[in-house]
Structure 1
């Protein structure tokens, strides 16, 4: 005799935390403008600077980054026109950022 499986409650709201950029670590929000190849992207950062972003190997393996995605970038200390991409937002997280006023426009 088999046990009946209970249906999961799909109507329950899921609470997810959205990672925001940490100003004390120099993190900024950025939009991916174009893919440059070789793990490089062109980023339009929220501080008004267009930077060349580098996708580190650990992130390249687990997330796909496309044009138009919202990411967190950390500008290099010694070369401000370059940055490392450290986080990619999902569509619901981007909607939350827009509602809370983190994304301008």
Structure 2
């Protein structure tokens, strides 16, 4: 067991007022993914250019999305959690 696996709580990025937790359910191509948000809404989320080459997003990943004001079924991905971070969010009851 390495030092960073000692069970200590990491400070995770939490959603801002206009962001919600979501799980990636389907890769749609063209920098878009289908997500199931914590508020129960299925949305099509866009992966912004600053994330496309640096962060790989796969089905089952937990992400933060920012729903569009003018079109509720669409959103932008703002953050992706690592697997260990997603597990910690589940343990703390933030997501199912």
What TM-score does the superposition give when structure 1 sets the normalisation length? 0.82
Q: 1:91 aligns with which of 73, 83, 86?
A: 83
Equivalent residue number for residue 18 of structure 1? 12
- Alpha-carbon distance in structure 2 between the residues aligned to 1:33 and 1:85: 13
TM-align CA RMSD: 1.5
The C-alpha deviation readout for 1:45-91, integer Å capped at 9, x for no partner, is 01000000000000112100000000000000000100000100001
Task: Compare CA radii of gyration and give the structure with the larger one.
Answer: 1
Going from structure 1 to structure 2, the CA distance change for 1:95 and 1:37 (only over 3 Å counts) comes to same
- Alpha-carbon distance in structure 2 between the residues aligned to 1:11 and 1:50: 38
What TM-score does the superposition give when structure 2 sets the normalisation length? 0.89
- Alpha-carbon distance in structure 2 between the residues aligned to 1:35 and 1:43: 9
List alignment gaps of at least 5 residues for structure 1: 1-9
Aligned length: 93
List alignment gaps of at least 5 residues for structure 2: none
